[in-house]
Amino acid sequence: MISPGLLERPPMAPRDRPPAPPSSTRTGRIRVNGEEHHVALASERNLLIVLREELGLTGTKYGCGEGECGACKVLLDGVAVRACQTPVGEAVGHEVTTIEGLARGEELHPVQQAFLEAGAFQCGFCTPGMIVAVASLLRRLPEPSDDEIRAALDGNICRCGGYLRILDAVHRASRTLAASPGGG
């Protein structure tokens, strides 16, 4: 039997529903690859979404979206971070460098060049995050050991299993940077 209470309460029409809470309209400037951008800083927006969908910088990859694969790594003041786990507001006042910003004009970054020479990729999906992570590592540790490289890349997954060539690429880049004026 239908409860009388249900008959008395018609389903809520869309116009009767309480309005959704307003999302934040706070905005700020972020600096990406040397250019300033004015963006919304709503708390649910992470840096990866802004880079890919708003600024069109799709070199940074969306892998897991949960901080597990490293495909989304970018440099924040020279240190590799997972963009999918970085609220865009945390980038305000800092320099963001994506894979697109590593090269100097036509000249590849030494880590990019080393990955090419070592053939350190197959499908290439993990490669931008790997290169960014290696660039960050070599700033901190110019001549890393194999163990230090493995530790630094622990959060970067290559589904094609190209880890040996990636190791080779890191050593190549390390040698190139050491030989360049000012150590890169």
| Residues at the site binding ligand FES, with contacts judged by CB under 6 A | 62-65, 67-72, 82, 84, 121-127, 158-160, 162
Please provide the distance, in angstroms rounded to a whole number, between the alpha carbons at the two ends of the chain.
80
Give residue for tokens 């004026």: 181
Cα–Cα nearest to 102, from 133, 65, 142, 71: 133
- 183: alpha, beta or left, given left = phi > 0 and alpha = psi -120 to 50? left
**Which residue's CB is nearer to ligand FES, number 37 or number 62?**
62
**Which residue's CB is nearer to ligand FES, number 131 or number 138?**
131
Q: How far is the CB of 153 from ligand FES (least distance, A)?
A: 11
Q: How far is the CB of 133 from ligand FES (least distance, A)?
A: 11
**Which residue's CB is nearer to ligand FES, number 30 or number 126?**
126
**Which residue's CB is nearer to ligand FES, number 130 or number 177?**
130
Q: How far is the CB of 183 from ligand FES (least distance, A)?
A: 28
Q: How far is the CB of 154 from ligand FES (least distance, A)?
A: 12
Residue type, 183: G
- 5: alpha, beta or left, given left = phi > 0 and alpha = psi -120 to 50? alpha
